[in-house]
Structure 1
Amino acid sequence: MGLHKTADTTVNRLRKPREEHSQLVREWVRQIRDLSYDMEDLSDEYVHLLERVAFAFTTRIPSRRRLAKRMQHINRSLQEMYRRASQLGIRGLPFSASSSSGMDATLARRFELDADVVGFEEDVEVITKQLCDLGRQVLTTIMKQLMGLEFDQVQDMDEQEMKKEIKVHLQGTKLAKSLQRINRNLQETSKHASELGIQGIPSSSLSPIKDTNLSLRYDVAEDVVGFDHDIQVITYQLCDLHVTRRAVISIVGMGGSGKTTLANKVYNSQAVKDHFQCRAWIVVSQSYTARELLTNIMKETMNIGNGQTREMDEREMKNKIREHLKGTRYLVVMDDIWKVSDWETIKTAFPEEFTASRVLLTTRKMDVAETADPDRPPHHLKLLESEESWNLFCKKAFSNACCPPHLQHLQDKIIQKCGGLPLAIVVLAGLLRRKHEAYEWSQTLERISHAPNKTDDQTHKILALSYNDLPHHLKSCFLYFSAFPEDYDVDAERLMCLWIAEGFVGSDLEGQTMEDLAEMYLIELINRCMIQVGRRNEIGSVGSVRVHDLLLDLARYEARKLNFCRSISDKGDSTDLRRLSITDDEGVHQYTSLGFSIPKLRSLLFLLKYDVDMPSKSMIHGSKFLRVLDLQRVYIESPSEIGDLILLRYLNLSFSEVKELPSSIGNLCHLQTFIALGYNLRIPSSFWKIQTL
């Protein structure tokens, strides 16, 4: 992930007086990013070749020559990269390629910088570091696949030893010579330390979570500060038996003001639970269809599964809901309604009787609230007062909710930066919590004042700064949320398996598995207030997580810039697309109608709230390098192509109605995660020969 992400972070941090220099750096970083992708493609294609064909060397001379030519092209590109860096006046690199250790190394954050590179020092370092790491990964892959060595036989070798072994094995071939040239150029990254402008940075071992307390510090329900009066007012309006008609109560406020938090607190209060015979919580969001909403209402109120609603039209669904709710005192929460038409489309499903039933809306739009119930004025959610803001901040920033004396003089500045907006407060608290000195806090607050952003909105600046403050392994994990639809309850176990398959999670530390590390990453994002706990499982662990709409907007904005992940509905060239997300029925139809392949696709994610049908022949589109394939809730009968995806690491067929796996599933020698929930599945004997599961 790092090179593409780092590229645009670099550009975003440059100051306007250096705009011309910024343009040159942007182009240079783009070239590095493209080069890293070329190297990744080369490595994958070579592994694919070795896996697909027997190890008879002479039968693959044309393919080997083609790969050798691509290596030579990469060598030339590396040399051009060094030359351009020198022309840009970028100098200094803190490490050697031989000391890099791939996924199990992270970079220190102390820099001595020339004036021209202030603001993108870490990014330049990470870019070059990852090129060195990728060079080692290419060598490791070739030794494992070509020479049949195990990981523990390779991990202690330095790059010189690895190249020597490969040279002996290939003895004089053009491929060997190309490998020597590419690794010499990668080693040159270290030699050009004076050309990148960064000095005196030691490498450090992986320690992604510096906070020794890895437990979650709070849940969403605890975020309620300053809402006591609002809770009383809304609860009274919901439970007032003097108003017997079906009334609509609207909570109106700007994004991040706590509308959903307030509604959730009231919805789950004991008084409301005892008062209503039937309750349902429905998330609307900006992108929805009436059918999706009606299906969700039926599931919540009638306990009906997707399969029972597939043959119903919208009119029949409304009639079923209305009939079920008739004569019942019900409460339906419609969270995050954006348009008047959203309410108009759905309102006839709720019977208008004199049972004191209620519909509770949350919205940013005043016209929605006024239209939904003209006889009842909307409840305006005000921003927090100074004292309330500080109380919420302290609750999030300090484990004991008490600010130490040496930081108290910054109270007014923090309150002013956040403007009483709860989301800004908790995210800023998550950002500052990991910093302990007053000068660090002052520097961070100053960066908010000058942080570049497409708007002058302080909240967006705080969110962007909190994202930029993430270590690079957590940036990848956070950007992954851009693949999911709005208000999606992301299963924590599924998410962590995806992170591992994508390579975001480092190699095992002593006494810790990658699953342990993935959970640490998840907890760290929660403690930084970048994501929220959605629900907990029976033993109290995180069962699901959610991301606020404003933070989701940020993740999508960054992901689009970096070509990190795209939705099927996003416009743009798909030639170099690495990850594709499909989140609704319309997206599935768009994907099945594609008349072209996506040859460089590594991840295909169907992240659906409802079941959809898809013909199996449209599943892959010639994407032979897929590592992640998530087909949860996709009705597909015969996934015959899956056996051709020999680089696949993650396969999810849950609730897909697949009855039998093809025997070619045994070809998936890199498969790490296989999930198949919901149906009986016949598994061939070849499946049990996959050693990586």
Structure 2
Amino acid sequence: MAESAYSIVLSNVNTLAIRETTLLCGVTLEVEFLKDELKRLQGFLRDADSKRRLGDEDIVVLVSQIRDVGYEADNAIEGVDHLHKRNRLKKGFMGAIARYARLPSDLTTLLNVRVEIERIKRKISEIAESANRLKIVDLGNIPIENAHVDDEFQLDYRKHQNFEEIVLVGFEGEYEEIMEKLVYTEKSLSTISIVAIGGAGKTALARKVFTSFRVQEHFRKTAWVTVSQKYKGIDLLKHIMKQIMGSGDESIDKLNEYEVAQKIHDFLLQTKCLVVLDDVWETDTWEQLNRSIRAFPDAANGSRILITTRKDIANNVQMPIHAHPLKKLDEEKSWHLLSSKALPSYRRSVIHDVDEFEKLGRKLAKKCDGLPLALAVLGGYLSKNLNAQEWSDILLDWPSTRNEQMVRNIVARSYKDLPNHCLRSCFLYIASYPKDYIIDVPRLIKLWIAEGFIPHIPKHKLEETARKYVAELAQRSLVEVVETSRAHGCIETIRIHDILHDWCAEEARQDGFLDVKNETTGQVGAPSSSNNLVSYRSSFQSFSNEILPATTLVRTLFGFELESASIPKLRFLRVLNIEDSTLKDFSTVIGGCIHLRFLRLGHCEGVVLPSTIGQLLYLQTIDLRDSYLESQVPKSLWDIPSLRNVYLDDGFSPPPPAKSVGLHHQELQTLFLGISHVGTKWCYHDMVIFLGQMNQLTSLSLMIFPMPTEVFNLFANMPHLVDITLVEFGVLDKLPHEFPQSVRRLVLYADVIRQDPMPILEKLPCLVVLKLQGYEGKTMSCSAQGFPQLQELELHRFSVEEWRTEEGTMAKLSILTLWECEKMVKLCEELLDLSYLNHVTLAERRGSISHLQNLWRARHSESKLFEELPHGEEALPRGSSASIWITPLKASRCKEHWKPSAPPVSTAQQSPPST
């Protein structure tokens, strides 16, 4: 793995070295020589990296030295490159001097670089001598790994199941039984425990139950917290409180354990809740949560506690407890699960001797001892190695380990089988996130690009290659698919199983790739051996230190739930991702991070950006959504030419003069602006001019109150847009006739739309997802052949009494959602005639729900097509794959549901999203 990290660094050095000679300001020859020397070291590293695991201390030191010198060379060369970039952007007389002459400060920098390069060259010579002494072979002539990956999963991801769906293959009965205990039994408080060893599927089963429609509608509030081996009772209680009550006016973090438990107690007395305690290891966990006061009272209102655990804790919970030990899958179910991954139906047709594979596969399935996780990961590996001899060799070499260690061995095999070092780096990088974290894939891709993990492949965009990498990991079951994007046909969110997360953390630390630290558990994944490398990437989770103990050479820093943390001066920082934290003295540090590529501060306090933010000339992504800014984002931000993705809420300065904008933002692809109001500092005219020059955008999200209608004029100069979100207009007389023909997803909210929007929007040839709000006309018309690609339609506050549809319109529509469209009763009566629909949601206030339910009863009393569930809040079909939900609209579900382009990212302790 050290060789993988080194290859990424060498790639960056090579990119800098091949630019024009003026870029390196007179040190070009030195850099070319340095590049060749670094490449020579890579040959030694390939052999040394493989021998390091044998435990030779001298080889461990050598590997560390080779990696370190690569990073040092990268930093030195990029420092000069930054000097060149900065001089090119200077304006006026001093700018001309800086571009065509050498200022004294520049000459000093160049001198220091030459000295640094000479030092690095001497260090390389010493390393080469050590390699020869240790008899390390130069393997520099080995062909470089292919950066491409198979396109199969990208094309056929809908044919594959995620882990939660796989689990139900063997546990359908347990699912129904647990659901019965949660929803339809006694009113007194009770606990349901799912008991099994690691990898047996207990968390996935609990999550499937938790996210089900019936559970989410039955309980007024729900909470999901992950306990794990070591925990703090007060932290768990605070996470529960935040989910069921919200933070309110009083800061939860300042409350002591007794105060938090008391508030939860009082709230549960009045509210029916479900609390999930996932991954409970200790039998006294329940006692620890209730030691100061009984936080979970029996209010006889049907509240429930759902626990997943590896141990029987029935004797330690002072309430009725229903234990559900998960049995291992039998041989037939094991084979069914394995074959669904290894030999999916669409691939069987191209396999010549299916019977031989099936014979070997059944033997391999039996070896997995009925563990769903082992079967899923092994199946993913086998699907990439459809070779009977390979399957036979795996069977012969099967280790004697069992249970979790067996799963880890299978993961290690699949990891080594990944097609290139870039993909291996991407996989280990996921350990940066806390356990059970729901990972936003578009954001993860931006991180991978900032790290340099995604190679430049001719005729391929970086984002396209990265999406294929995600798909590859998903097909191998190394990550779990949580959600896919209907509009863009790709994976939207993922998570990783706890066992795989532990394996990644340990492997990453052992290789010096990543160091994960938690204040409760210490270093996560720390190996038993002392032979580990110093890491250049760190992830701090739930830390309260005043100053994070990060080395000054660190290149990547993650932080989750940091209490009043100060970030040290990190001169060579490339990636900074901090969430749910309070920062101190942030502005004094960030301005000096000239190498920074990625900056995300999510739900953070104490955020102040200095005026020198414009000097971060490599910055690709800045994301400050949902953070409290104590001062405005300086206008110098817009001077950064490398910006690709910008996400800003209230608190940023007006744009620079329009004449200079177009020169600086040729790379900008994604722009998210949330503005509560447009005031004197930013008039409509200036904003439209500012945005209109960003002609390379593929995603535009504007949350402005009120939204100026002039924004429609932007589209004439934005031919590449595929994702548009505009929230919220006041009164729109009509929509413009010209939208970008490439748009696949359109969200447009207004208080009032007076003219039928469908005749205009139905002509968009690529539109897949459409969400509209505010149309007040009596009729709505869709012509034949209209909306040729539309799959999902969501309407909010439409007062339509008649929907006229010609035959052939919306031929691919499968999901229809109506929010507060009470007058669309005639539409409700015609829904079943739309045979291509497979999911319809009618979300209304309770006053109109009863009428809709009566309507369904009257229409289908004879056919018995619909059956009302016992709690009376939904109607479900029988004997049909379609589903029509009549849902009472909860206030909590209405609030801010219009934020589709800024999906909330769950932390490790937050509940999974509902399906």
Conserved 8 A contact 1:249-1:373: no
Match of 1:581 in 2: 539
Conserved 8 A contact 2:164-2:205: no
Q: Which among 37, 42, 47 is matched to residue 73 of structure 2?
A: 42
Amino acid paired to 2:616 = L
Q: 5+ residue gaps in structure 1? A: 97-105, 108-203
Q: Distance in 1 between matches of 2:345 and 2:605?
A: 50
- TM-score when normalising by structure 1: 0.73
Match of 1:363 in 2: 309
The alignment status of 1:392 with 2:337, answered yes or no, reads yes
- TM-score when normalising by structure 2: 0.56
Amino acid paired to 1:483 = S
Q: Distance in 2 between matches of 1:361 and 1:517?
A: 40
Amino acid paired to 1:634 = S
Match of 1:554 in 2: 503
**Deviation at residue 414 of structure 1 after TM alignment:** 0.8
Amino acid paired to 2:310 = R
Does the residue aligned with 1:589 lie in a helix, a strand or coil? coil
Q: Which among 151, 174, 179 is matched to residue 230 of structure 1?
A: 174
Higher helix share: 1
Q: Distance in 2 between matches of 1:337 and 1:387?
A: 30
Q: 1:250 to 1:9 in 2, by over 3 A?
A: farther
**Deviation at residue 365 of structure 1 after TM alignment:** 1.6
Q: 1:22 to 1:537 in 2, by over 3 A?
A: closer
Match of 2:116 in 1: 67
Q: Which among 615, 620, 624 is matched to residue 571 of structure 2?
A: 624
Q: Distance in 2 between matches of 1:313 and 1:661?
A: 33
Q: Distance in 2 between matches of 1:444 and 1:458?
A: 13
**Deviation at residue 34 of structure 1 after TM alignment:** 2.2
Match of 1:599 in 2: 552
Amino acid paired to 2:338 = F
User: 1:249-328 counterparts in 2 under 5 A?
Assistant: 249-273=192-216, 275-304=218-247, 308-328=251-271
Match of 2:90 in 1: none
Q: Distance in 1 between matches of 2:403 and 2:221?
A: 43
Match of 1:130 in 2: none
Conserved 8 A contact 2:334-2:366: no
Q: Distance in 2 between matches of 1:51 and 1:62?
A: 15
Conserved 8 A contact 1:397-1:432: yes
> In percent, how many aligned pairs have the same letter?
31
**Deviation at residue 352 of structure 1 after TM alignment:** 1.0
Aligned length: 563
**Deviation at residue 29 of structure 1 after TM alignment:** 6.8
Q: 1:27 to 1:4 in 2, by over 3 A?
A: farther
Q: Distance in 2 between matches of 1:552 and 1:490?
A: 13
Conserved 8 A contact 1:4-1:563: no
Match of 2:838 in 1: none
Does the residue aligned with 2:538 lie in a helix, a strand or coil? strand
Q: Distance in 1 between matches of 2:403 and 2:174?
A: 31
Does the residue aligned with 1:394 lie in a helix, a strand or coil? helix
Does the residue aligned with 1:599 lie in a helix, a strand or coil? coil
Match of 1:79 in 2: 128
The alignment status of 1:636 with 2:583, answered yes or no, reads yes
Match of 1:670 in 2: 618
Q: Distance in 2 between matches of 1:337 and 1:443?
A: 38
Match of 1:466 in 2: 414
Match of 2:455 in 1: 506
Conserved 8 A contact 2:334-2:365: yes
Does the residue aligned with 2:225 lie in a helix, a strand or coil? strand
Match of 1:211 in 2: 152
Match of 1:134 in 2: none
Q: 5+ residue gaps in structure 2? A: 7-43, 85-97, 349-353, 644-915
User: 1:185-224 counterparts in 2 under 5 A?
Assistant: 204=146, 206-211=147-152, 213-216=154-157, 217-223=160-166, 224=168
The alignment status of 1:3 with 2:3, answered yes or no, reads yes
User: 1:147-162 counterparts in 2 under 5 A?
Assistant: none
**Deviation at residue 588 of structure 1 after TM alignment:** 3.8
Conserved 8 A contact 1:39-1:74: no
User: 1:350-499 counterparts in 2 under 5 A?
Assistant: 350-366=296-312, 368-373=313-318, 376=321, 378-400=323-345, 404-449=354-399, 457-471=405-419, 472-499=421-448
User: Which string of whole-angstrom CA distances, capped at 9 and with x for unpartnered residues, describes residues 207-263 of structure 1?
Assistant: 12353644432234321211022123222332453x332111211100000101222
Conserved 8 A contact 2:536-2:553: yes
Q: Distance in 2 between matches of 1:612 and 1:493?
A: 27
Does the residue aligned with 1:410 lie in a helix, a strand or coil? helix
Q: 1:274 to 1:601 in 2, by over 3 A?
A: closer
Amino acid paired to 2:176 = Q
The alignment status of 1:567 with 2:516, answered yes or no, reads yes
The alignment status of 1:684 with 2:634, answered yes or no, reads yes
Q: Distance in 2 between matches of 1:467 and 1:422?
A: 18
Does the residue aligned with 2:285 lie in a helix, a strand or coil? helix
Of the structure 1 ranges 29-38 and 247-256, higher mean CA displacement relative to structure 2 is found in: 29-38
Q: 1:549 to 1:318 in 2, by over 3 A?
A: same
Match of 1:246 in 2: 189
Q: Distance in 1 between matches of 2:324 and 2:70?
A: 56
Does the residue aligned with 1:441 lie in a helix, a strand or coil? helix
User: Which string of whole-angstrom CA distances, capped at 9 and with x for unpartnered residues, describes residues 523-559 of structure 1?
Assistant: 2111111111234567475443211111111111111
Q: 1:399 to 1:304 in 2, by over 3 A?
A: farther
Q: Of the two structures, which has the highest relative contact order with CA contacts closer than 8 Å and spacing of 6 or more?
A: 1
Amino acid paired to 2:476 = R
Q: 1:391 to 1:663 in 2, by over 3 A?
A: same
Q: Which among 466, 473, 486 is matched to residue 518 of structure 1?
A: 466
**Deviation at residue 465 of structure 1 after TM alignment:** 1.2
Q: Distance in 1 between matches of 2:326 and 2:47?
A: 38
Conserved 8 A contact 1:361-1:369: no
Q: Distance in 1 between matches of 2:442 and 2:368?
A: 33
Amino acid paired to 1:72 = K
Does the residue aligned with 1:349 lie in a helix, a strand or coil? coil
User: Which string of whole-angstrom CA distances, capped at 9 and with x for unpartnered residues, describes residues 587-638 of structure 1?
Assistant: 241644x5xx7232111111x2x46323xxx312x42111111233332365
Q: Distance in 2 between matches of 1:335 and 1:598?
A: 34
Conserved 8 A contact 1:334-1:359: yes
Q: Distance in 1 between matches of 2:477 and 2:456?
A: 26
Of the structure 1 ranges 433-442 and 664-673, higher mean CA displacement relative to structure 2 is found in: 433-442
User: Which string of whole-angstrom CA distances, capped at 9 and with x for unpartnered residues, describes residues 347-404 of structure 1?
Assistant: 42222132333211110122x3432257545221111000000111111223328863
Q: 1:666 to 1:529 in 2, by over 3 A?
A: same
Does the residue aligned with 2:553 lie in a helix, a strand or coil? coil
Does the residue aligned with 2:223 lie in a helix, a strand or coil? strand
Q: 1:322 to 1:8 in 2, by over 3 A?
A: farther
Q: Please report the RMSD computed on the Cα atoms of aligned residues, expressed in angstroms.
A: 3.5
Q: Distance in 2 between matches of 1:626 and 1:92?
A: 31
**Deviation at residue 496 of structure 1 after TM alignment:** 1.7
Amino acid paired to 2:343 = F
Q: Distance in 2 between matches of 1:92 and 1:47?
A: 27
**Deviation at residue 285 of structure 1 after TM alignment:** 2.4
Conserved 8 A contact 1:8-1:562: no
**Deviation at residue 84 of structure 1 after TM alignment:** 4.5
